[in-house]
Structure 1
Amino acid sequence: MPPECLAPEYVGSLFDVPIPMSVGDWVPDRPDHLNDWIQEMLKDIDKDGCPITHPAVLEFKNDIESDPELFMGFHRIFENVPERDPLGRLQVKDYLTMLSLFQRFMGDAPSWNPRFLVFLPFTTVLQWPMSMSNGFTILINRRVNDHFRKIFAVWLKFLASSQSNYVLHEGCDGWLSPEAMENMPKFKETFVCDPGEPHWGFTSWNHFFARELRPGARPPSNPDDDRIITSACESKFLRKAFSVTTRDQFWMKNQPYSLVHMLNNDPLASSFVGGTVYQAFLSPYYYHRWHSPVEGTVVKTQGQQPFLSHVATRALIFIQARNPNIGLMCFIGVGMVEVSTCDITVEPGQVVKKGQEIGTLHFGGSTHCLVFGPQVKLEFLNSTNEVIPAQLLDCPIDRVEAHL
C-alpha cells in the first residue's frame, strides 16, 4: 500500500470496545475512529458555515421548530451527550448541527478508506441519542421518520446518479484501487465491469454496489441435489435458532422481532412454528444480490417498512421447495439502517432454480434470514465461525443440508 494512503497508527485509548454497528464492517469497530471521523465532519461544516438550505432538511428544521413536542424532544436527546469525549474531541450537541451534517451527507458517496469505513453517516451522528431512551422515543415518532424517509430518498437518488461515481477510481481512497480490491478477490473475472472504461463502466455508486455477476460466474453448489439448501447471499453467519415459537425474539438490525413480526403477521407464519431461523450479515465489500437457496415455486412476495423506516426495510419471498421434505421456506432480506431499497425480482407463481437471482439490495442490506418449518433439520456442512457463506462455488461457502 502506498505510504500516502496510510493513516497514522492508533495508539490506544479508552475506546477499544467494539460497538454493535460495526457488525458487517459498516462502521469502524472502535468508537475512537468514529469520533475522529465526526471531528472531521464538524470541522467541515464549521469551515463552510453550512447554512441549512436543502428543501428536505429545511422542512425537517421547520417542523422541529414549529412543533413543541419535536422541539423539546430534539433538545432532550442531546442533553446527555458530552460536549467533548474523554480525548477532547467535539461531539454533536444540538439538532442544528445534526441537520447541517445531514445536509452535507446528502451529496457524499461512501469513500473507501484503508484505515476504516463509515458507511452509516446519519447513524454515526445519532449514535449517542439512539442508545438513550429519550432519543429512542423521539426517533420512532412517525413525523420524524417521514422526514428521514424524504432525506434518504434524496440521498438514494444521488447514490444512483453519475455524480456519485467520483469514489469509483483506482487512487488510494477509491473502490477500484488495488488495496480495496484485496477485499474483493477475482473482481474483474467475477463481475460485469470494463477496467478500460471510466469507473470500470459503473455509472454510479449504486451500480457498483449492486453489481452483477458475469454469465457463468459462481455457479450454484450442488444444483441437482435437492437435499442441499444453499445460502441466499454472500454473507457471514450471525446466528441461528431452532424450535422457534410464535413469539420468540430474534435480533434483526439491533431491533427485537418475533417470528410473526419478522413475517409481518402473514398467515403463512404459522408454517414455521417449531422450525429454524438462520441469520447472516453482509459486508460493504460483498455481492448484494440474492439467489434462491432451493428449487421451487414462489408462493408470495412482500416488501415492507414496519417499524423505523430507516431501520428495518425488509423483503419477504416465500418459496415452496420442489423437495416436499423441505416444503415452504422464506427468505427475508433486511435493509440498511439508512438508505436501502429491497428490490424483489421474482413474482408469485414463478418457478425458480437453485442459485437463480431473486432480488437485490441497493446500498443496504446488511443482513438476511432463511426461515424453515419444523420438518427441516439443518446440518451445517462447514464451520459457521469464520466462513463467509455464499451459494457460489468459488467463494468460501457454508452450505446447509436438510436431513430428509
Structure 2
Amino acid sequence: MIQPFYRLLIELTNGRWTSFLLKRFARSKVSRFAVPSFARIYQLNQEDIENSFRDFPTLHDLFIRKLRKDARPIDKDSNSVVSPVDAVIEDIGPIKKTSEIVVKGKIYSIDEMLGNRSVLEKYLNGTYMILYLSPSHYHRIHSPVDGTITKQWTLGRKSYPVNKWGLKYGVRTLAKNYRVITEAETEFGHIAVVKVGAMFVNSIETTHKGSRLEKGEEMAYFSFGSTVVLLFEKGIFEMDSAIHTPKEIKVGEKLGTLQKSGT
C-alpha cells in the first residue's frame, strides 16, 4: 500500500490545489515520519550522503539532499560534456531544421520549448538529449560544461508527468511544463540546459551565482523527480560510443565531447 501512495504523491499530474497541499505536506514536520520508508522503497543509497535518512526533518529535505564531496567524480577531459544529473538517458537525437524532435514517438517543438526565436536558430540541425530523474534520484543539477551563461529565462506555469509514460502519452509536456532554461557559451559553441518541472509550479530552484560555469558545479535543484533536456548547437557535440538509451547515468560521467563545428 505504501509504494502506490508514494507514486501517487510524486509522479502523477496535479492541479493548483492538490499541488499546494502536497507541497505543504512534503515541507511539514509530519512528513519526516515518511522519510525512512520512502528511502527504503526507492532504495536510496545511504553511502552517498553523510547523514542518516532519519536525520532529514522533512520529505522535502530528503528530496533536495546533498552528497558527499567525493560521491560524484567529474570527468576531467577539457572538451568533455558530463551528465548534469543522476538520471536515465531516455532519448538522444537530431533537432530537425523545422525545430522538431521525436521523443517516444511523439513530436515536440524546440521552438515552443525555448520560447525564443533568436535563441532557437543556433540549435536547428543540432542534437538533443533527454535525462529523466525519478523520485529515487539525487535531485541537484550541475553544469555539464565549462562556459559562460549568456541567458537564463523561465517559461510555463503548470507541470505534468515527464516520466516515459508522460513523454509518450502527455500533451507536449517538455514544451509546456514550467521550465527554467540556461544557455551557456563554450569555446566550441552554445548549449542550452532546459530544466523541466514535473510537479509543483516552483519545483526548480536556481542556486548558481554569477555568469561563469565550471563543469560539475551545482546550478539548481528539483524538489521532485523531473527532466533535463540538453540542446547542442549544430555540429559541436559528438556522443560517447558507450551511451545508449535507456541508460542510467550519474553526475560527472561522460556523455560525449565538444568539437569545433565542421571538424
Partner of 1:343: 205
| Alignment check: 8 A CA contact 2:124 2:233 kept | yes
Query: Is 1:240 the counterpart of 2:240 in the alignment?
Result: no
Higher-Rg member (1/2): 1
What is the match of residue 219 of structure 2? 358
Please provide the CA RMSD for this pair. Answer: 2.8
**Is the Cα contact below 8 Å between 1:248 and 1:258 reproduced in 2?**
yes
Compared CA separation, residues 117 and 373, structure 1 to 2 (3 A): farther
Q: Aligned residue for 2:255?
A: 399
**C-alpha distance in 2 between matches for 1:338 and 1:329:** 26
Residue matched to 1:316: 181
2:7 to 112, 119, 131: 119
Aligned to 2:248: 388
1:105 is matched with: none
Once residues 102 and 199 of structure 2 are traced to their aligned partners in structure 1, the CA distance between those partners, rounded to angstroms, is 17
Question: In the alignment, does 2:49 pair up with 1:191?
Answer: yes
The 2-side partners of 1:150 and 1:255 are apart by: 29
Q: Structure 2: give runs of 5+ residues left out of the alignment.
A: 161-176
In 2, Cα distance between equivalents of 1:255 and 1:341: 25
Q: How far apart, CA to CA, are the structure 2 residues paired with 1:290 and 1:250?
A: 24
Query: Of 120, 130, 133, which residue of structure 2 is paired with 1:282?
Result: 133
CA distance in 2, matches of 1:123, 1:399: 26
The partner residue of 2:61 within 180, 184, 207 is: 207
Residues 98-247 of structure 1 aligned to structure 2 (within 5 Å): 111=2, 113=3, 118-121=6-9, 148-169=15-36, 174-177=37-40, 180=41, 183-185=43-45, 187-188=46-47, 190-193=48-51, 195=52, 199-222=53-76, 225-247=77-99
Residue by residue over 1:297-332, the C-alpha shift from the partner in whole angstroms, topping out at 9 and shown as x without a partner, is 1112122215xx1321211111112xx22x111001
* Uncovered stretches (5+) of structure 1, i.e. residues with no partner: 1-36, 38-110, 127-144
Aligned to 2:121: 270
**Which residue does 2:163 correspond to in 1?**
none
TM-score by length of structure 1 reads 0.54
**Aligned partner of 1:334 among 179, 193, 196:** 196
Residue number in structure 1 paired with 2:164: none
Tell me if the contact between 1:120 and 1:338 (Cα under 8 Å) persists in the aligned partners: no
Please give the secondary structure, in 1, of the residue aligned with 2:249: coil
Structure 1 residues 364 and 155: alpha-carbon distance in aligned structure 2, compared to 1, 3 A threshold? same
Cα offset, 1:337, TM superposition: 4.9
Residues 1:255 and 1:304: Cα distance change in structure 2 (over 3 Å): farther
- Residues 125-160 of structure 1 deviation map (CA, whole Å, 9 limit, x = unaligned): x8xxxxxxxxxxxxxxxxxx9xx2243123212212
**Distance change >3 Å, CA 234–CA 203, structure 1 → 2:** same
Higher helix share: 1
Contact 1:123 1:338 in 2 (8 A): no
Maintained 8 Å contact 1:314/1:333: yes
Once residues 310 and 361 of structure 1 are traced to their aligned partners in structure 2, the CA distance between those partners, rounded to angstroms, is 13
Q: CA deviation at 1:368?
A: 1.3
Query: In structure 2, how many angstroms separate the alpha carbons of the residues matched to 1:268 and 1:339?
Result: 24
Comparing 242-251 and 353-362, the one that deviates more: 242-251
Query: Using the alignment, how far apart are the partners of 2:32 and 2:8 within structure 1?
Result: 18
Give the equivalent residue in structure 1 for 2:169.
none
Contact 1:288 1:360 survives alignment (8 Å): yes
Contact 1:381 1:401 in 2 (8 A): no
How far residue 339 of structure 1 moved from its aligned partner, in angstroms, is 6.5
Aligned-partner Cα distance in 1 for 2:224–2:10: 14
Assess if the C-alpha contact under 8 Å between 1:310 and 1:336 holds in 2.
Answer: yes
Q: For residues 159 and 402 of structure 1, do their structure 2 counterparts lie closer, same or farther at Cα, with a shift above 3 Å needed?
A: same
Whole-angstrom CA distance in 2 between matches of 1:305 and 1:364 = 17
The separation in 2 between residues aligned to 1:341 and 1:239, in whole angstroms, is: 23
- Residue 230 of structure 2 corresponds to which residue in structure 1? 370
**Counterpart amino acid of 2:248?**
I
Asked whether the equivalents of residues 379 and 403 of structure 1 are also in contact (C-alpha less than 8 Å), the reply is no
Q: Is 2:91–2:103's contact at 8 Å kept on the other side of the alignment?
A: no
Change (3 A) 1:150 1:265: farther
Paired residues of 1:387 and 1:398 also in contact (CA < 8 A): no
* 1:354 counterpart letter in structure 2: K
Figure out how many residues of one structure are paired with residues of the other and give that number. 244
Greater relative contact order (Cα < 8 A, sep 6+): 2
| Distance in 1 between residues matched to 2:235 and 2:246, nearest whole Å | 28
